């Protein structure tokens, strides 16, 4: 059963932020699930900070640590506050508005096949982690920094989808992915590598 975050993510992406027409229903569901996971992770991290700060404030006001039930209520309130903040920042703030502040219905999107979504910033779910950036430096050390930035985006998307990523420079997949990264370089009017 979908959690709290699924409803706003699904609503925003189906009603206000167009998904590419060529994506299958399964690909759309996968994309929404990836966003739900990312936002739940961010909300959990933020809620811990809010919770800790709220408990510190409670202790300062009352001179003692809150009892168990108060601590639980503080945690629940922190999670709700964090979820709302994350949804507002990462979803609602992305909805285009007209000059009157009303939401603009999305234009249909096409030309972004599922396997190339990493090339379009609108459909990138997560930013590359430091571990991914390090892997890219190990696998493609001789390539430019722009190539490696794009490679990190590609590997991040592949990991989100449960697809393989190259482990070493000698991995055949490392060579197989170069044309895809070069395609993006060419779109950016840069020479392939």
Q: How far apart are CA 173 and CA 49, in angstroms?
A: 40
Same domain, 83 and 23: yes
Q: How far apart are CA 185 and CA 193, in angstroms?
A: 9
Mean pLDDT for 12-18 is 90
pTM of the model as a whole: 0.80
Same domain, 21 and 87: yes
What is the number of structural domains in the chain? 2
pLDDT at 1 over 80: no
Same domain, 139 and 182: yes
Q: Is residue 192 part of a domain?
A: no
Same domain, 146 and 68: no
Domain containing 80 equals 6-94
Same domain, 151 and 86: no
Same domain, 82 and 20: yes
* Distance (Å) of CA 55 to CA 46, 48, 80, 90: 14, 10, 16, 27
pLDDT digits (tens, 9 = 90+) for 147-169: 999 999 999 999 998 999 999 99
pLDDT reported for residue 77: 97
Q: How far apart are CA 183 and CA 190, in angstroms?
A: 10
Q: Is residue 102 part of a domain?
A: no
Q: Hey, what are 95's tokens?
A: 């909805």
Q: Is residue 101 part of a domain?
A: no
Residue 20 has φ and ψ, to the nearest 5°, of -55, 135
The residue out of 74, 94, 114 marking a domain boundary is 94
Q: How far apart are CA 106 and CA 18, in angstroms?
A: 6
């Amino acid at each position: 059963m979908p959690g709290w975050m699924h409803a706003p993510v699904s609503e925003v992406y189906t009603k206000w932020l167009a998904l590419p027409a060529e994506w299958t229903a399964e690909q759309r569901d996968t994309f929404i699930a990836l966003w739900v996971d990312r936002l739940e992770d961010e909300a959990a991290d933020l809620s811990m900070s809010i919770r800790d700060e709220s408990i510190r404030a409670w202790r300062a006001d009352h001179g003692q640590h809150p009892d168990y039930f108060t601590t639980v209520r503080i945690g629940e309130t922190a999670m709700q506050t964090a979820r709302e903040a994350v949804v507002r920042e990462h979803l609602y703030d992305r909805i285009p508005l007209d000059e009157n502040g009303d939401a603009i219905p999305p234009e249909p999107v096409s030309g972004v096949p599922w396997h190339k979504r990493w090339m379009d910033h609108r459909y990138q779910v997560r930013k590359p982690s430091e571990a991914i950036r390090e892997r890219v430096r190990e696998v493609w050390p001789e390539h430019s920094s722009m190539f490696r930035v794009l490679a990190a985006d590609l590997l991040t998307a592949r990991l989100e989808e449960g697809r393989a990523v190259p482990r070493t420079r000698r991995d055949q997949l490392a060579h197989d992915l170069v044309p895809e990264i070069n395609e993006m370089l060419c779109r950016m009017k840069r020479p392939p590598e």
